Amino acid sequence: NAGVTQTPKFRILKIGQSMTLQCAQDMNHNYMYWYRQDPGMGLKLIYYSVGAGITDKGEVPNGYNVSRSTTEDFPLRLELAAPSQTSVYFCASSYRLAPQETQYFGPGTRLLVL
Protein backbone atom coordinates (compact mmCIF):
# COMPACT_ATOMS: atom_id res chain seq x y z
CA ASN A 1 0.00 0.00 0.00
CA ALA A 2 1.19 3.50 -0.81
CA GLY A 3 -0.87 4.92 2.06
CA VAL A 4 -1.77 8.59 1.65
CA THR A 5 -0.14 10.34 -1.29
CA GLN A 6 -0.10 14.04 -2.09
CA THR A 7 0.90 16.01 -5.15
CA PRO A 8 2.65 18.30 -5.76
CA LYS A 9 5.33 18.33 -3.05
CA PHE A 10 6.06 22.00 -3.53
CA ARG A 11 4.44 24.83 -5.46
CA ILE A 12 4.86 28.57 -5.86
CA LEU A 13 1.75 30.55 -6.77
CA LYS A 14 1.22 34.17 -7.63
CA ILE A 15 -1.48 36.11 -5.80
CA GLY A 16 -4.86 35.45 -7.43
CA GLN A 17 -3.87 32.22 -9.12
CA SER A 18 -5.76 28.99 -8.55
CA MET A 19 -4.60 25.46 -7.99
CA THR A 20 -5.73 22.05 -6.80
CA LEU A 21 -3.82 20.02 -4.26
CA GLN A 22 -4.28 16.35 -4.90
CA CYS A 23 -4.71 13.70 -2.22
CA ALA A 24 -5.31 9.99 -2.64
CA GLN A 25 -5.37 6.99 -0.31
CA ASP A 26 -5.42 3.29 -1.09
CA MET A 27 -6.46 2.00 2.33
CA ASN A 28 -10.21 2.11 1.65
CA HIS A 29 -10.64 4.72 4.37
CA ASN A 30 -13.98 6.46 4.63
CA TYR A 31 -12.73 9.55 6.39
CA MET A 32 -10.38 12.07 4.85
CA TYR A 33 -9.10 15.42 6.06
CA TRP A 34 -7.18 18.47 4.96
CA TYR A 35 -5.00 20.35 7.43
CA ARG A 36 -2.72 23.31 7.12
CA GLN A 37 0.38 23.88 9.21
CA ASP A 38 1.73 27.39 9.51
CA PRO A 39 5.36 27.91 10.56
CA GLY A 40 5.96 26.98 14.19
CA MET A 41 2.34 25.97 14.71
CA GLY A 42 0.26 22.84 15.00
CA LEU A 43 -2.14 21.65 12.35
CA LYS A 44 -5.53 23.22 11.76
CA LEU A 45 -8.38 21.44 10.03
CA ILE A 46 -9.60 23.00 6.77
CA TYR A 47 -12.19 20.49 5.51
CA TYR A 48 -13.03 16.89 6.09
CA SER A 49 -15.12 14.19 4.46
CA VAL A 50 -16.85 11.17 5.96
CA GLY A 51 -17.46 9.46 2.64
CA ALA A 52 -17.89 9.98 -1.08
CA GLY A 53 -20.16 12.95 -1.70
CA ILE A 54 -20.09 14.18 1.91
CA THR A 55 -17.85 17.02 3.02
CA ASP A 56 -17.92 19.58 5.80
CA LYS A 57 -16.00 22.60 6.99
CA GLY A 58 -13.32 22.45 9.61
CA GLU A 59 -11.75 25.23 11.62
CA VAL A 60 -10.26 27.34 8.78
CA PRO A 61 -12.26 26.73 5.55
CA ASN A 62 -12.25 30.23 4.06
CA GLY A 63 -10.52 30.43 0.69
CA TYR A 64 -10.73 26.69 0.04
CA ASN A 65 -13.09 24.19 -1.54
CA VAL A 66 -13.19 20.42 -1.60
CA SER A 67 -14.98 17.62 -3.35
CA ARG A 68 -15.14 13.88 -2.76
CA SER A 69 -16.38 12.01 -5.80
CA THR A 70 -14.63 8.74 -4.90
CA THR A 71 -13.50 7.03 -1.72
CA GLU A 72 -9.87 7.30 -2.78
CA ASP A 73 -9.53 10.96 -3.75
CA PHE A 74 -10.02 14.19 -1.83
CA PRO A 75 -8.70 17.22 -3.74
CA LEU A 76 -8.39 20.66 -2.15
CA ARG A 77 -9.01 23.69 -4.35
CA LEU A 78 -7.57 27.19 -3.81
CA GLU A 79 -9.48 29.62 -6.02
CA LEU A 80 -7.75 32.98 -5.47
CA ALA A 81 -4.43 32.41 -3.78
CA ALA A 82 -3.45 34.90 -1.08
CA PRO A 83 -0.15 35.25 0.84
CA SER A 84 -1.99 34.12 3.98
CA GLN A 85 -2.38 30.71 2.37
CA THR A 86 1.36 30.15 2.39
CA SER A 87 1.59 27.01 4.47
CA VAL A 88 2.24 23.30 4.45
CA TYR A 89 -0.86 21.29 3.62
CA PHE A 90 -1.41 17.81 4.94
CA CYS A 91 -4.01 15.33 3.83
CA ALA A 92 -4.97 12.53 6.20
CA SER A 93 -7.34 9.58 6.31
CA SER A 94 -8.84 7.21 8.84
CA TYR A 95 -10.91 4.05 8.54
CA ARG A 96 -13.83 4.44 10.86
CA LEU A 97 -15.53 6.61 13.37
CA ALA A 98 -13.98 5.39 16.59
CA PRO A 99 -12.26 7.34 19.36
CA GLN A 100 -9.07 5.33 19.09
CA GLU A 101 -8.81 5.46 15.33
CA THR A 102 -5.70 7.30 14.32
CA GLN A 103 -5.34 9.40 11.22
CA TYR A 104 -2.67 8.55 8.66
CA PHE A 105 -0.98 11.53 7.10
CA GLY A 106 0.43 12.17 3.67
CA PRO A 107 3.89 13.71 3.18
CA GLY A 108 2.53 17.25 2.78
CA THR A 109 2.48 19.92 0.08
CA ARG A 110 4.50 23.05 0.69
CA LEU A 111 2.79 26.08 -0.86
CA LEU A 112 4.29 29.53 -1.24
CA VAL A 113 2.08 32.41 -2.42
CA LEU A 114 3.94 35.50 -3.62
Partner 1 sequence: AQKITQTQPGMFVQEKEAVTLDCTYDTSDPSYGLFWYKQPSSGEMIFLIYQGSYDQQNATEGRYSLNFQKARKSANLVISASQLGDSAMYFCAMREGRRSNFGNEKLTFGTGTRLTIIP
Name the residue nearer to partner 1 (CB basis): 7 or 18. 7
Site string for partner 1, 58-97 (x = CB under 8 A): xx----------------------------x-x-x-x--x
Q: How far is the CB of 80 from partner 1 (least distance, A)?
A: 25
Contacting partner 1 (CB under 8 A), which of 19, 27, 45, 52? 45
DSSP string, 45-91: EEEEEEETTEEEE-S--TTEEE--SSSSB--EEESS--GGG-EEEEE
Indicate if the alpha-carbon torsion angle 65, 7, 93, 28 is positive or negative: positive
The number of CA neighbours under 13 Å toward the Cβ of 103 is 17
Chain residues in the site for partner 1 (CB under 8 A)? 31, 33, 40-45, 48, 50, 56, 58-59, 88, 90, 92, 94, 97-100, 102-108, 110
